[in-house]
Chain A
């Protein structure tokens, strides 16, 4: 049941998906894997929407050069507070009606089942395909939807993986190699792509609209292009 305070807080979005939709968000747990450029706005908007439990996963600590895009981390967090804890501190003050859980560490084949246990939707905010494929495998093993997002420069891509319904990430990117290291990125690009990822999660949880199932959204914000590629 929603409290009076929640009914008021979420009034404008209850106009979209009703109290039933809001209750579904409240009863849901969403994992944000990677609390960086995508993960910061993803976690922020999930918290704003009233998703009942948000699990933040990351092993890093913020650096000064992260702050152009990782908006949940502030100057005082640099070199000090691991990203999930830094984000948790702000999100709890932003919305005290929700629960923020954290895992400070890297997801591995050994710990993924335990760490993601009970999660309804996974949001991929990672910066490498190695760990993405780990999430992809978990999603298929457990039947949990996975919202994929990635950015570079002014470019971004989003698609939603639903086991048994859509292609897997491994099928979409059979050749994605290891490409770690420094990539160009503008905070606003991450914000735009992250917002689309949050909408995907909310669509999955409330039944609103049509998620990007077997459809691959590619945007180039420098050139104003939004394309949806059919993956079937």
Chain B
């Protein structure tokens, strides 16, 4: 299935683009998608998503709605990834 990814804030800078389309296995979860992205964009794996290899610091929306990592994706979904920024 095909999904559209959108990257926000420093994810956008790290990946070097704001969005991309991706062919992924049918029925994967958000967590599995993130694993795919860490392989595809090592810069995210190393610098952003994780310390201690967990999903430390990423927020995900699916078709404009905030989702948990165990939610299953469908063909045509738009998935946005944004970090919790903390500056004030």
- The distance from the CB of A101 to the nearest CB of chain B, in whole angstroms, is 20
B61 touches A229 (CB 8 A): yes
Which of A172, A176, A228: most chain B CB closer than 10 A? Answer: A176
The reply on B73 being an interface residue by CB < 8 A is no
Q: Report, as a range, how many residues of chain A touch the other chain.
A: 35 or more
The reply on A13 being an interface residue by CB < 8 A is no
- The distance from the CB of B38 to the nearest CB of chain A, in whole angstroms, is 16
A-B contact count (CB 8 A): 92
B12 touches A150 (CB 8 A): no
CA distance A191 to B34 in the complex (A): 33
- Specify which of A149, A176, A232 is in contact with B84 (CB 8 Å cutoff): A176
B88 touches A39 (CB 8 A): yes
Question: Which of A20-28, A71-79, A153-161 forms contacts with chain B?
Answer: A153-161
CA distance A23 to B80 in the complex (A): 41
Question: Which of A30-38, A85-93, A200-208 forms contacts with chain B?
Answer: A30-38
Across-interface contacts of A173 in B (CB, < 8 A): 59, 84
Binding site for B on A (CB under 8 A): 34, 36-39, 124-129, 132, 149-153, 155-157, 172-173, 175-177, 179, 183, 185, 190, 216, 218, 220, 223, 225, 227-232
